[in-house]
């Protein structure tokens, strides 16, 4: 123990020295104004990343050791450290390094060249305990569970913790799986699928840093509370180029959290709604009931239905998004109007044979039409420029527009722009169907190019002067004497200093290198269309549990979701061990699961807690008092607690809002009301029962559901 403590102290001393050096490099890069901005920005970015990498390692820097069969040993930890004086030999292996894999996967039957595996239990910077597995001794290769049990039995804190010290073999297989396409990870409650997916992100960022860091990673979760819960895991592993959002936040500037009723959510989530959106756009491309007058200075014109119909068909046939196709519509309309106007304005002195005069007069008329308010109003009436919010908001608040688009009346609501989570993929789709509302803003690019052209001109003058000076000089122009126009332009233009997360969340067209989708069984067909647009290379880690699906628009099988986009490019892995829910609680939850998904095997709990879940029946008017009593008791205990139940129960949250979360103690209120919602209610009760890591209680006023009959009186 003394030797190990001394070795770990030495690793921390090396960490402190490297961190001080990295911070010095960062400070120097920030102060260095003698280099081009691009070069300085790169130096700052690299140094900053190294500082962050070293800063996260204070807690649990080293958590194990591997002794090889042929001699030699390697320590395994949160980051990698190297001996600069010994050809950069590793003194601490990063847990993601290939050489560290045996720490998680070696067994007595397959020791993978390992003689002994040692696991440390640390507090702060001090080793307080270790356990050994001696693979060279018969019976000595059973993996010790001390570190794992200490982690799963520890009171829960505010957020999810990383598991680098306790990754199990089936989890490690998922984390390191070398598959370039879509990986589906399914597991019941408590199997660690979320934290495994996050560690897979950290592993990919480690092994594919150059490809991944340009575009970053998107993590999609079921609700804001879940994102807050998992938000510290990747930063604790030194990774920050990750965007966290819900499906309600996939459109920049919008954070929808309200949910539609089941019927509306099912309609909006199906691919059939695409026909509704296209029909809603077509409905706005109208024909005039009566000719629309356009009064110019020398002639009175009108846009009749036949002209508008021809222009509309040409615009539709162009294949352009609605707002871009308006240019085609306008071109046909103006052509017809000017063709009719020229002979009348020219009064016989302009002939078609005189092409120059004809086109000159057309140009005058086009200029007048462009400035004519009546003509612009006519275009806006027949082919308006539309935003996604405008089109969808007016559609959802108008019975007439819904009927014209072939949508059910159940989608009608008073406030069309009271956005729900199910509206977000529709808005995203409309961005593509409608296109931008004006010319793409390339102001910054134009300014940069103007500065570059100016700089190039300056350099040309300097080059001429330099050539004159060198005419009689035998020396040649050296590379360090050269300056590029773009470098000089950078001195005149303010650079975008936002980090990757800021840029990605503000840009709808941003594409990610990898996407993680949690609680993926809840996503609709339309949600998947949005995500596939965000990741053109189709690199996904998808985690979920089909048995926990509550959304009517959610997935009923993984193949129904993925074969449309990545046929033959997705693989499936299952997690079967429950690290969260003790056996006493899982036995109760398993009976609920059997009631609505009889073919699904519940995950096997890795431990028992010795505390049986209980149930108590109280009168309706005493439910609030029972909840208050539970909260008082839990306030005096270490750890976290939650009350799950109907909205009418003071202090209760819905089961859906606790998906992916875990608490030391859970009180489920009115399970009979939860089950009254049918299949959706059964899934929600299953979720509610499996949130607890230590203690579970149930309070009810009606009859206790049969599946919970085994609970002890509380």
Between these two residues, 449 and 659, which has the higher pLDDT value? 659
As given in the structure block, the two tokens for residue 269 are 């989530």
- pLDDT tens digits, residue range 493-548? 445 667 889 999 999 999 999 999 999 999 999 999 999 999 999 999 999 999 99
Rounded CA gap, 315 and 690, in Å?
56
pLDDT tens-digit series, residues 151-184:
787 788 778 888 898 899 999 999 999 998 999 9
| 193 labeled part of a ligand binding site | yes
Annotated binding residue 268? no
Q: How far is CA 511 from CA 42, 126, 630, in A?
A: 22, 43, 47
Query: Does 177-251+508-578 carry CATH code 3.30.2040.10?
Result: no
* Residue ranges covered by each domain of the chain: 1-175, 177-251+508-578, 583-713
Architecture of domain 583-713: 3-Layer(aba) Sandwich (3.40)
Same fold, 177-251+508-578 and 583-713: yes
pLDDT of residue 465: 47
| Token pair 């067909």 in the structure block, residue | 525
268-280 residue pLDDT tens = 999 999 999 999 9
Q: Is 190 annotated as a binding residue?
A: yes
% the chain with pLDDT above 90: 67
Does 659 carry a binding-site annotation? no
Q: What is the 3 state secondary structure string of 452-514?
A: HHHHHHHHHHHHHHHHHHHCCCCCCCCHHHCCCHHHHHHCCCCCCCCCHHHHHHHCCCCCCCE
Q: Is 36 annotated as a binding residue?
A: no
For 271, phi and psi rounded to 5 degrees?
-65, -20
Q: Which secondary structure element, helix H or strand E, spans residue 311, and what is its range?
A: helix 305-317
Tell me which residue of 587, 657, 653, 614 sits closest to 259, measured CA to CA: 657
- Please report the pLDDT score of residue 31 as a whole number: 83
Q: Known binder of ligand: residue 194?
A: yes
CB atoms within 10 A of CB 534: 19
Average pLDDT, the chain: 88
Please give the pLDDT value at position 260: 95
- In tens, the pLDDT along 214-260 reads 899 999 999 999 999 999 899 888 888 899 999 999 999 999 999 99
188 appears as a binding residue in the annotation: yes
The answer to whether the annotation marks 355 as part of a ligand binding site is no
């Amino acid at each position: 123990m003394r030797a190990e403590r001394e070795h770990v102290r030495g690793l921390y001393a090396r960490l402190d020295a490297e961190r001080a050096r990295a911070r010095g490099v960062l400070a120097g890069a920030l102060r260095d104004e003698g280099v081009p901005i691009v070069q300085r920005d790169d130096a700052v970015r690299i140094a900053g990343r190294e500082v962050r990498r070293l800063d996260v390692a204070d807690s649990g820097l080293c958590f194990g050791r591997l002794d090889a069969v042929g001699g030699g040993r390697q320590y395994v930890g949160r980051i990698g450290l190297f001996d600069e004086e010994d050809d950069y030999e590793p003194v601490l292996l990063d847990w993601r390094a290939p050489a560290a894999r045996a720490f998680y996967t070696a067994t007595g039957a397959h020791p993978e060249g390992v003689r002994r595996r040692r696991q440390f239990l640390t507090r702060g910077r001090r080793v307080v305990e270790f356990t050994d597995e001696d693979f060279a001794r018969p019976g000595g290769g059973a993996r010790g569970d001390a570190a794992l049990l200490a982690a799963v039995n520890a009171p829960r804190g505010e957020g999810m913790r990383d598991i680098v010290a306790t990754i199990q073999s089936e989890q490690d297989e998922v984390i390191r799986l070398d598959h370039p396409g879509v990986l589906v990870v399914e597991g019941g409650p408590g199997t660690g699928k979320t934290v495994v997916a996050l560690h897979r992100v950290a592993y990919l960022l480690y092994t594919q840093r150059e490809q991944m860091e340009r575009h970053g990673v998107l993590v999609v979760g079921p609700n804001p509370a879940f994102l807050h819960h998992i938000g510290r895991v990747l930063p604790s592993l030194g990774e920050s180029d990750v965007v966290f959002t819900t499906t309600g936040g996939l459109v920049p500037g919008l954070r929808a959290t309200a949910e539609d009723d089941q019927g509306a959510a099912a309609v909006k989530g199906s691919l059939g709604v695409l026909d509704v959106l296209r029909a809603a756009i077509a409905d706005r491309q109208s024909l005039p009931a009566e000719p629309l007058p356009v009064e110019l200075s020398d002639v009175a014109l009108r846009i009749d239905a036949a002209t508008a119909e021809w222009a509309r068909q040409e615009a539709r046939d162009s294949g352009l998004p609605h707002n871009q196709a308006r240019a085609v519509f306008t071109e046909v309309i103006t052509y017809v109007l000017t063709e009719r106007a020229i002979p009348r304005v020219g009064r016989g002195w302009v002939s078609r044979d005189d092409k120059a005069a004809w086109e000159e007069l057309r140009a005058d008329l086009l200029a007048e039409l462009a400035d004519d308010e009546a003509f612009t109003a006519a275009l806006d009436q027949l082919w308006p420029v539309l935003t996604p919010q405008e089109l969808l908001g007016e559609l959802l608040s108008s019975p007439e527009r819904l009927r014209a688009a072939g949508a059910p009346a159940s989608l009608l609501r008073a406030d069309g722009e009271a956005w729900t989570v199910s509206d977000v993929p529709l808005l995203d789709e409309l961005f593509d169907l409608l296109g931008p509302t004006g010319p793409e803003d390339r102001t910054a690019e134009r300014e940069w190019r103007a500065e570059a052209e100016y700089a190039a001109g300056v350099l040309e003058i300097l080059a001429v002067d330099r050539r004159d000076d060198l005419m009689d000089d035998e020396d040649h122009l050296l590379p360090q004497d050269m300056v590029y126009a773009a470098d000089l332009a950078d001195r005149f233009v303010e650079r975008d200093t936002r980090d990757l997360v800021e840029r990605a969340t503000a840009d709808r067209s941003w594409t990610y290198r990898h996407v993680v989708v949690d609680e993926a069984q809840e996503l609709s067909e339309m949600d998947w269309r949005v995500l596939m647009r965000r990741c053109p290379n189709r690199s996904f880690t998808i985690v979920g549990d089909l048995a926990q699906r509550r959304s009517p628009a959610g997935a009923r099988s993984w193949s129904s979701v993925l074969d449309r986009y990545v046929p033959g490019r997705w693989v499936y892995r299952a997690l079967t061990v429950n690290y969260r829910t003790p056996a006493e609680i899982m036995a109760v939850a398993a009976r609920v699961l059997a009631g609505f998904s009889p073919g699904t095997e519940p995950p096997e709990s890795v431990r028992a807690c010795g505390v049986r879940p209980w149930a108590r029946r109280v009168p309706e008017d005493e439910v609030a008092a029972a909840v208050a009593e539970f909260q008082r008791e839990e306030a005096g205990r270490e750890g976290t607690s939650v009350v799950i139940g109907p909205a009418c129960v003071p202090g209760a949250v819905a089961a859906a809002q606790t998906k992916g979360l875990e608490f030391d103690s859970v009180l489920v209120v009115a399970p009979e009301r939860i089950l009254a919602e049918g299949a959706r209610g059964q899934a929600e009760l299953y979720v509610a029962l499996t949130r607890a890591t230590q203690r579970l209680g149930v309070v009810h006023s009606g009859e206790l559901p049969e599946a919970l009959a085994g609970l002890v009186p509380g």
